[in-house]
A and B are shown apart, each in its own frame.
Chain A
């Protein structure tokens, strides 16, 4: 029974919709009924995966008109005004969901204004920086690559200019409740009927361009880890697994520097703990990171980025260069009532890797300065200001930052932590810019365990016992007393950073409480880093 419903819904969602419609029932209740029906049909495990995905590898063109698709997407823009539609068409037919948008009513027909309903319109794009393993895990192996790469109609709506992505106009009929709660950079899986319609804002143009439009039947929020994870891991060997993971990161991408690898891992799993008081992710600068061997090809991404994208679900690389600074924008900006995206419009829980290797000498324009300020502000306060005419709107973000720089410290940014890279082998032999395919992979099972470790740490919670708290206090006082001169003494900021580090360390070990051992370990890690800097 259920399976036949499923087959129906997949084969002809429009018919299902029309069957559900009862012209005599209360119109306002219909959208909720649609949502309830479809979500029940697709409630069973894996049923959702039966729906063909809409993604860069299976772009809108390969789907039939009015096919049921699912779209894992980031809300990019919630500013389009809600749209009115006739919920009951002529002859008591079902309206909305793109139905009747094409039938041309003669204008002599009277319109019953009481049948008008409203739907929320937003613009959504495929999740920026989503790692390919996530897509494979959720969408199955991509469909034949015979199609030419999809070219989105509105490239300015995606954070990375020129990157391949799918963007679509999303129409949500279950208005008030669902529609109002959608926030910019939220991740959702939208299931709906795919059509091609003019942009809502362009309706009055003579020949409006058509864009992919998804008429949502139901939607689900997507977790920050994309793939469901748990914390703490049940495995007793988490500590060993963690060591293996760090070793793997260090050996494949950081010339064997385990401390640096550990810092990268810890800062990668950092997230916003609280806003008042602000307990924000630690930001990291990995200094002394070699530039690509040939300056000609500055677009090469470091091996680290490939390795991290194998571990973290969402990783974005922001290759800093004079061109990206001066010619692109980091913060979203509304131009002609269209919200253009910016590099930093990223979903919560993503990792942003800033590489400074592409920066050359030259002038940073006003825009460049604004971009730099936006990035610094996001590191400091985890907020990003979207620019609108005559006003700015501040949006909360939750993005972990790792800056790679060749110098002693970042040329542009101040981060909480700086650690100079100290290759175990000579950098001459080690290629920091190997291609992604050259990365030595561990066994698939091992890799999956790594990912579970990282994903779980991203969502876990740790507490602190009274004993450890007292120990930390005592430790701080003692260390201050021991300082040879006031200028060498540990400052309160140092203590704060150390505590944040201890928390991250506990998370990476999948422990539920910060223990004295973890504290000592964190202290040792931080001390090793400090000695490195002074060397």
Chain B
């Protein structure tokens, strides 16, 4: 240590001193600079305040330094780490904790020392000297091997450091090419020692070897191994953009990330262990003996963290130079590093059985309850009442052995050991009840529930209602008869000590990430692999999924897929092919479009959802169609307009029984966000509820103002509604708006409106009867012979198309759309008519676009082509022909649907108005004409029957114009002409 002073050291010392002074005055000012360069840059030496400012927000290492300084640790100049009095790696464990009590809990458990700041003689029982203070793993393994294994290693590891330090001081700021030789000698050290062979009790697993294997894995694993492994299993693999990408030493990158983020958790995908040939053995060991192997891995992780930090310091990496690097390293030493394995194929929770006890398992489920945070004793501290001898006892299998007598031979008094609460160590713990999800429960069974214990960083990650995939150690512990007794029952309770949690494990009900506060419940740890797919769960599952995908793709290439799908939609319903096709396209849906630029978070959105209304005679299986769709559609919701209150259709605010917090419980429409909402008896729905639908169908949101919460929820829902005509039967002589009791504004929001009429036709009737008799009276229904997709396959097909296919309109298709629209509009052009009928509006154009997109989706095509548009136009025409035809003129008139009055009707009213006025002017005069007489007289003049309702409308119009006045009530009404 007699090297000449380095030129930059004084400046950095100055820095530190000034920083101390500035510390209180400038706390945490935000400014993102490159702080780490500043330390060694003389020019910034004069601006200490600035330096402090730039460091404060994100640099834990520096804060570590200041904190240490705050408690009186002097940082000696020039030899920041290894000078006597500072925490050298050897002396560190015992000396540092005493001086920084704040950090005591985080201290590495595996230190070869008794971290006993007070001067009590301490003798840990059962030779379990080092404690593993991970909450989730109460290792029964004595970790003593680490002690000796570490000591030489630490020494080895220090040796090159010292050398390097010297080097560094000799030629500061020379870019010394790092020779990796001294570094590589370090890891080899522990395994070389023959006396270190320790095995996990009852097995042949050599722990030292395990540690070495894991070490090699962390240092050697590259993404290319995983890719090769996946390929072997026939899985879809991601293509590396460059060959180098596959050559990255993945875990070293992760370890650096951890240091930079100050994270102490490494999420380890154990499939990677399997993929890296040398570490395959480790996979099985980890699965069988997690209790022992995970702490060993933690140890390796920490060693490697230090090693890499050291390496980086030598390499002069940003932020790792000089004092900062030292602080960083000291910080790493002070942490507990945890390996969090995941990636086991999830099993059903009812398949957990006694043979899984103490093994690593993965399950999925729904959080139904979570307790508040419980302090969980990890290490108990006992003191003998007679001789003040102290003992620390670690938790084992969820219980703490209270020493019966004082372990000191001199004292050995019985029953004098008493617990000192504030000297015990606690961890955060939370108990979660996880319930099976509906898809995992066998038919006809009620769901099971298991308890999960989560610790430390994982506490409060999951909230009730979340879907989780957890990896943990399965435990079964005897139940105590009575907490005050020492006896146990031969009954056992089971739970999982969780090591890894993954939120929202796939499925159709995955939560919306946008509903969570940004970063509010970020899972701890690095290495989950943001670059990995969500679906990288279990191997088995993935292959099955790939199989299904292949099957669906094959299906989509079949020539008659459109008809096949339509036929499978509602097999028991006879005929109605176009209705089925329309509904099928509704299930696929168009693509949602939004204009990327513009104010308010991306401008307006254009809905891609297709709404369908079925109107028809009772007894025409409308309800059955709805039931089928409800079962097939993703997030299908079925409600009857009659029974559903406005509450059931919207959302309401309630108080959560557990947390006493107000929670928003969504109702039918919101729940089916992204799904299909089937509403039967649409016409029976109350006006209040229906008004909600206006918003849902056009804006695709639901607004709620209840209990002080005012909010707008997304309800991107397609609506399939069924309505009955006003009378018991549909009157074909009346326009549709008179047949259904729905406001035209609502009707016009449906893309497709189908009339399902019951017509008497001998041939059709016979076929229908044949179909029904076969279906209802024969034991083996005949439909089996027909080519049909089972329900779940149809559902999977639709699901796949909706999530994967987003078709774009081609130019040809665009032209065809325009042409069809113009043609449709021109249908109303009648040279003889003075007034123009409206046969199509932009709404119809939008509908056509959506339908053709849906049709392309149905074909699994990324492009909307000519055939898609043709089919969409055909469906539209079919629907319009039945629904928008004016029964009096026999012509199509969209005005009827859009405004409720067709062009023919308007003309009729105009004629009637003239007649009424002439009638009043002529005969009645000022005395007026009785209501009934007026109708009768008009009827005599006219060739068609005068409709009472139409007449009322006309009179109302005249009244508004101030031309007539109606006196009297009901039958005694008289119409008078107002003069002037």
Query: What's the Cα separation between A390 and B465 when bound, in Å?
Result: 6
B178 beta carbon closer than 8 Å to chain A: no
Cβ–Cβ contact A469 & B760, under 8 A: no
Residues of A within 8 A of B773 (CB): 464, 469, 472-473, 499
> Is B643 a contact partner of A491 (Cβ separation < 8 A)?
no
Taking a contact as CB atoms under 8 Å apart, the answer to whether A85 and B491 are in contact is yes
Residues of A with C-beta under 8 A to B772: 492, 495-496, 499
Q: Assuming the A-B contacts A117-B354, A366-B647, A389-B464, are A180 and B446 also in contact, with contact meaning beta carbons closer than 8 angstroms in the complex?
A: no
Asked if residues B446 and A184 are in contact (CB atoms below 8 Å), the reply is: yes
Minimum C-beta distance from A171 to chain B (A): 11
Chain A contacts of B571 at CB under 8 A? 276-277
Q: Which residue of A lies closest to B680 (CB)?
A: A380
Known A118-B353, A118-B354; contact A514-B487, beta-carbon cutoff 8 A:
no
Q: How far is the CA of A474 from the CA of B768 in the complex (A)?
A: 11
A500 vs B366: C-alpha distance in the bound complex, in angstroms? 42
Q: How far is the CB of A392 from chain B (nearest CB, A)?
A: 8
* A107 close to B (CB within 8 Å): yes
Docked complex: A366-404 residues within 8 A CB-CB of B = 366, 369, 372-373, 376, 381, 386, 388-393, 395-396
Q: Report A-chain residues with C-beta under 8 Å of the C-beta of B759.
A: 486
Q: How far is the CB of B403 from chain A (nearest CB, A)?
A: 13
One of A203, A339, A388 near B479 (C-beta < 8 A): A203
Identify A104's interface contact among B450, B476, B481, B647, CB under 8 A: B481
Do A373 and B769 touch across chains, with their CB atoms under 8 A apart?
Answer: no
Of B357, B621, B729, the residue contacting A486 (CB under 8 A) is B729
How many angstroms between the C-alpha atoms of A523 and B262 in the bound complex?
82
Residues of A within 8 A of B442 (CB): 180
A331 to chain B, nearest CB (A): 12
CA distance A448 to B482 in the complex (A): 55
List, in ascending order, chain A residues with CB within 8 A of B410's CB: none
In contact, A274 and B769 (Cβ under 8 angstroms): no
List CB contacts (< 8 Å) of B463-482 with chain A: 464-465, 476, 478-482
Please provide the chain A residues from 94 to 119 with a CB less than 8 Å away from any CB of chain B in the complex. Answer: 95, 100-107, 111, 113, 116-118
Tell me the minimal C-beta distance from B675 to chain A in angstroms: 15
Pick from A392, A461, A477: contact of B779, CB under 8 Å? A461
Neighbouring B residues of A487 by C-beta, 8 Å? 728-729
A206: which B residues are within 8 A, CB to CB?
482-483
- B758 on the A face (CB < 8 A): yes
A204 at the binding interface (Cβ < 8 Å): yes
**In the bound complex, do residue A107 and residue B486 qualify as a contact, i.e. CB atoms below 8 Å apart?**
yes
Expressed in whole angstroms, the minimum distance between the Cβ of B438 and any Cβ of chain A is 5
Q: Which of B476, B485, B619, B648 has the most CB of A within 10 A?
A: B619
- Indicate whether A337 reaches chain B with its CB closer than 8 angstroms: yes
Q: Mark B440-460, 1 if CB is under 8 A from A, else 0.
A: 011111111110000000000
A150-191 interface with B by 8 A CB criterion: 180, 182-184, 186
Partner-binding segment picked from A75-83, A225-233, A351-359, A439-447: A75-83
- Chain B residues contacting A107 (CB-CB under 8 Å) are 399, 478, 480, 486-488
B433 interface contact, C-beta 8 A: yes
A368–B609 Cα distance when bound, in Å, is 33
A347 vs chain B, min Cβ distance (A): 12
A493 contacts partner chain B, Cβ-Cβ < 8 Å: yes
Does A86 sit at the interface, judged by CB under 8 A?
yes
Which listed residue (B465, B492, B781) contacts A277, Cβ 8 A?
B781
From B446, B476, B574, contact of A116 by CB (8 A) = B476
In the assembled complex, the Cα of A465 lies from the Cα of B175 at a distance in Å of 97
Residue A63 interfacial (CB < 8 Å): no
CA–CA, A1 and B424, complex, Å? 65
Q: Which of A106, A182, A278, A494 contacts B619 (CB 8 A)?
A: A494
Residues of B close to A495: CB separation below 8 A: 768-769, 772
Which of B445, B486, B620 has its CB near the most chain A CB atoms (within 10 A)?
A: B445
* A489 at the binding interface (Cβ < 8 Å): yes
Q: What secondary structure prevails in chain A residues at the interface with B?
A: mixed
Asked whether B648 lies within 8 Å of A391 as measured between CB atoms, the reply is no
Q: Determine whether the beta carbon of B478 is less than 8 Å from that of A491.
A: no
Contact flag A279-B776 (CB < 8 Å), given A86-B490, A493-B619, A495-B769: yes
B619 partner residues in chain A, CB cutoff 8 A = 491-494
Partner of B769, one of A86, A182, A369, A477: A477
Interface assignment of B489: CB less than 8 Å from any CB of chain A: yes
Interface presence of A510 (CB below 8 A) = no
Interface residue? B368 (CB, 8 A): yes
Residues in B with CB closer than 8 Å to A40 are none
Question: For the complex, what is the distance from the CA of A381 to the CA of B628, rounded to whole Å?
Answer: 11
Bound CA–CA A204/B433 (angstroms):
15
**CB-contact partner of A376 in B488, B617, B643, B783, under 8 A:** B643
Contact (Cβ within 8 A) B776 A496: yes
- The answer for the CA separation of A116 and B476 in the assembled complex, in Å, is 9
Question: Which of A95, A101, A204 has a CB less than 8 Å from the CB of B493?
Answer: A204
Q: Cβ of A489 and Cβ of B760 under 8 Å apart?
A: yes
**Given A104-B481, A369-B643, A391-B437, A79 contacting B491 (CB threshold 8 A):** no
Q: Is B645 an interface residue (CB 8 A)?
A: yes
Contact B445 A183 (CB under 8 A): yes
Tell whether, in the assembled complex, residue A85 and residue B464 are in contact, meaning their CB atoms are under 8 Å apart: no
Partner of B762, one of A100, A391, A463, A477: A477
Contacts of B791 in A (CB 8 A): 276
Residues of B within 8 A of A427 (CB): none
Is residue B778 contacting chain A, with contact meaning CB distance below 8 A?
yes
Closest to A493 in B: B619
Contact at B487–A491, with CB atoms within 8 Å?
A: no
* Residue A503 at the chain B interface, CB threshold 8 Å: yes
> Using Cβ atoms and an 8 Å threshold, which residues of chain A touch B438?
391-393
Alpha-carbon gap, A154 to B621, bound state (A): 44
Whether A277 pairs with B354 at a CB distance below 8 angstroms is no
Q: Is the CB of A480 within 8 A of B765?
A: yes
Smallest CB gap from B489: residue in A: A101
| Contact (Cβ within 8 A) A390 B368 | yes
Kindly list chain A residues whose C-beta atoms are within 8 Å of the C-beta of B774: 469
A81 near B769: Cβ-Cβ < 8 Å: no
Taken together as a complex, chains A and B put the C-alpha atoms of A82 and B350 apart, in Å, by: 8
Interface residue? A84 (CB, 8 A): yes
Encoded as 1 (CB less than 8 Å from any A CB) or 0, chain B from 774 to 791 comes to 111111010100000001
The reply to whether the CB of B618 lies closer than 8 angstroms to some CB of chain A is: yes
Contact A389 B486 (CB under 8 A): no
Q: Which residues of A contact B770 (CB under 8 A)?
A: 473
Q: Pick from B399, B447, B778: contact of A464, CB below 8 A.
A: B778
- Distance (whole angstroms) from the CB of B678 to the closest CB of chain A: 13
Kindly state whether residue A430 has any CB partner on chain B within 8 Å: no
Q: Is B358 an interface residue (CB 8 A)?
A: yes
Report whether B450 and A81 are in contact in the complex, using a CB–CB cutoff of 8 Å. Answer: yes
- How many angstroms from the CA of A203 to the CA of B648 in the assembled complex? 39
Q: Which residues of B contact A334 (CB under 8 A)?
A: 446
The reply to whether B488 and A183 form a contact with Cβ atoms under 8 Å apart is no
Question: In the complex, which of the residues A103, A107, A464, A494 has the most CB atoms of chain B within 10 Å of its own CB atom?
Answer: A107
Which chain A residue has the least Cβ–Cβ distance from B647?
A366
The verdict on A491 contacting B620 (CB below 8 Å), with A388-B435, A473-B770, A486-B758 known, is yes
Would you call B492 and A473 a contact (CB within 8 A)?
A: no
Rounded to whole Å, the gap between the CB of A408 and the closest CB of chain B is 16
Does A433 make an interface contact (CB < 8 A)?
A: no
Which residues of A lie under 8 Å from residue B448 when comparing CB positions? Answer: 79-82
CB <8 Å contact, A203 and B493: yes
A83 to B354, CA, bound (A): 10
Q: Mark A470-490, 1 if CB is under 8 A from B, else 0.
A: 001110110011010011010
Q: Can you list 20 residue pairs at the A/B interface with Cβ under 8 Å?
A: A79-B449, A81-B448, A81-B449, A81-B494, A84-B493, A85-B490, A101-B491, A104-B487, A183-B445, A386-B446, A389-B435, A392-B438, A464-B773, A469-B774, A476-B766, A492-B620, A493-B618, A493-B619, A499-B777, A502-B777
The 9 closest A-B pairs by CB, nearest first: A183-B444, A277-B572, A491-B619, A493-B619, A104-B487, A84-B492, A116-B354, A487-B729, A473-B769
Known: A84-B476, A391-B435, A495-B769. 7 other contacts (CB 8 A): A84-B493, A107-B488, A386-B446, A391-B438, A396-B444, A481-B760, A514-B777
